[in-house]
Structure 1
Amino acid sequence: MLRRRTTVGLLALSSILAACATTPAPAPIPEAAAAQAQLSTFTALVQQAGLADALRGAGPFTVFAPSDEAFKALPAATLASLRASPAQLKDVLSLHVVAAQLPAEAIKNGPAKSLQGANLALAKAGDFVTVEDAMVQQANLAASNGVVHVIDRVLLPAKK
């Protein structure tokens, strides 16, 4: 009887350990974004702008990450200009980051301050979430220091 309990206990323990081993802990935002095929342009530009280390920080952060399709929709000259100017690129990408953890279900209608300093208009209607004129296509990609939402447009700062 003791042997059977021990065997059952060991099987239960091994099942628990196996479940833990197959569920990796979320990675910081740059790595969580890099794991998404539709965010390859965003990931490369974050590296180029020198924002990756900041986005690995303690956070929490919410990143509204434009998809590859969103970057393709930009005029070629705009994207080329951003790639040529790390300061301008950092300014644009910082506009997509909020220093708070905002899963889709926690988003309220109203402004949120971006790391770039501008207020972003957030809105939610049912399951639909928007930031400025961009629609969230995929919400709540978990990261160890926040959350990433994939959006369908690149947000550009207001002209000064």
Structure 2
Amino acid sequence: MNHVLTVGLGVLGAGLVASLPAAAGDMVEKDSAQVETTEEMQEQAEEMQAEETTETTIVDVASSSGEFEILVAAVEAAGLVEVLSGEGPFTVFAPTDAAFEALPEGALEALLMPENQALLAQILTYHVVPGTVTSGDLVEGDVATVEGSDVTVSLGDSVMVNDATVVMPDIEASNGVIHVIDKVIIPPSLLSELDVEKPAL
């Protein structure tokens, strides 16, 4: 009886030993599959995070809006796309298409001509203030622009920049902020050249 039991146990032990490599192989395969799945999930998460953190610059925001087609065309004509897509930060007082269309007859067409690139750049940079200045940070008074001249900010029932009204503030971009205005503002030194009346401030 003991001999039979010993033989039986020996056979059982041999079977278990024989099955161990196969079981171990299955476990290794499962572990490898889990590692691959985990790596795939990590890669997907990183891709999603990269998409979420993709920079949307001031130029990108303006280009994706239907309100700034003329502004974007002007920025391109003035050679300022790279600048306004740069690190910044910048605060841009962005005139709508309607604001550009309200310029004196022929002025917009003339500004977009290649020979007037420097003049156009001067006007556009007059709409740009260094740094990120949200509506809550605005204070009354003169503010220096990238162009070099000052704009005058007035606070009251509405926010005014020279004689332009801020109609939509605080559009965020990765390299600054945009405040939408209803008029094109002109540096004082260029008013006579464009036959635009000096704003009453």
Fold-level match, TM-score > 0.5?
yes
- Shifted more, 26-35 versus 94-103: the winner is 26-35
Structure 2 unaligned spans of 5+:
1-44, 191-201
2:90 to 36, 44, 61: 61
**Larger Rg over CA atoms:** 2
Cα deviation for residue 76 of structure 1 reads: 2.3
Report the counterpart of residue 147 of structure 1 in structure 2. 177
Q: How does 1:10-159 map to 2 (within 5 A)?
A: 25=54, 27-84=56-113, 85-125=116-156, 128-159=158-189
- Residue 112 of structure 2: SS of its match in structure 1? helix
TM-score (norm 2): 0.66
Matches of 1:25 and 1:135 in 2, distance apart? 31
Taking structure 1 as reference, are residues 73 and 118 closer, same or farther at Cα in structure 2, changes over 3 Å only? same
- Secondary structure in structure 1 of the residue aligned to 2:146: coil
1-structure distance, mates of 2:55, 2:160: 25
Provide the C-alpha distance between the structure 2 equivalents of 1:114 and 1:21, rounded to a whole number of angstroms: 33
SS in 2 for 1:76: coil
Over 3 Å counting, the alpha-carbon distance change for 1:35 and 1:119 in structure 2 is: same
Question: How many residues align structurally?
Answer: 145
1:35 Cα offset (Å): 1.4
Give every structure 1 segment of 4 or more consecutive aligned residues whose post-TM-superposition deviation is greater than 3 Å. 19-26
Identity %: 35
User: Displacement, 1:83?
Assistant: 1.1
What letter is aligned with 1:89?
L
**Which protein is richer in strand relative to its size?**
1
Partner of residue 9, structure 1 = none
Shift of 1:125: 2.0
Shift of 1:135: 0.3
**Cα offset for 1:113?**
0.6
Bigger RCO (CA 8 Å, 6+ sep): 1
Q: Deviations over 1:73-100 (max 9, x none)?
A: 0112211221121111101101000011
Equivalent position SS for 1:105: coil
- Which whole-Å CA distance do the structure 2 matches of 1:41 and 1:78 have between them? 13
Tell me, what secondary structure is at the counterpart of 2:185? coil
Unmatched 5+ stretches in structure 1: 1-16
